[in-house]
Amino acid sequence: MGANTESYEEPGQSLRLTRMVLPWLALLLVVGVLWNIAAGFATSQRASNLAAQASAAASATAGATSSANATGTAYVAKVQKQVVLTARADAKSEKIATAKVGATLTVLETQTAWMRVKDAAGHIGWIPNDINYITLKTK
């Protein structure tokens, strides 16, 4: 009888071990699946944001370079302080023209620190992208 008791307890121990380990394995599986879903969602959101930014930049550039384009948006810079148009996006670059207070400049391109603009006389150059110098408005 003692042998029967040992062989009967053996399956109970493995069952007890399975009951302790199986929930943890299931939890790891669920966490892994959720992690992959979240990573996929974040990646798709990043891709959507990049596509939207590229579309907006293309739209703004298209609208800014052609004010006759009715579907694009043209941005103008209203000069608040006199600003120098330079040949390159660099403060040490050669001076092309000067825009006086109240002048309106058509924005052709924007970068983080600089904007490529065209003045009323047709001069095309770069000015600092700084709210102390200009105010951007939709045309």
Structure tokens at 50: 């990049």
Helix (H, G, I), strand (E, B) or coil at 124: strand
Instruction: Output the domain CATH number for residue 122.
Output: 2.30.30.40
Q: How many domains does the chain have?
A: 1
> Average of pLDDT values for 3-13?
58
Task: Tell me which H or E stretch contains 36.
Answer: helix 2-65
Question: 19 or 9: whose pLDDT is higher?
Answer: 19
The boundaries of the domain holding residue 122 are: 74-138
Give the global pTM: 0.45
Q: Which of 126, 77, 74 is nearest to 101 (CA)?
A: 77
Per the domain annotation, does 50 fall within a domain? no
113, 129 Cβ separation under 8 angstroms? yes
| C-alpha to C-alpha distance for 115 and 88, rounded to whole angstroms | 10
| C-alpha to C-alpha distance for 98 and 96, rounded to whole angstroms | 7
pLDDT at residue 9 above 90? no
Residues 13-49 have pLDDT tens digits of 777 878 888 888 889 889 888 888 877 777 767 666 6
Residues 97-134 have pLDDT tens digits of 988 888 888 888 888 888 888 888 999 999 888 777 67
Per the domain annotation, does 93 fall within a domain? yes
Per the domain annotation, does 37 fall within a domain? no
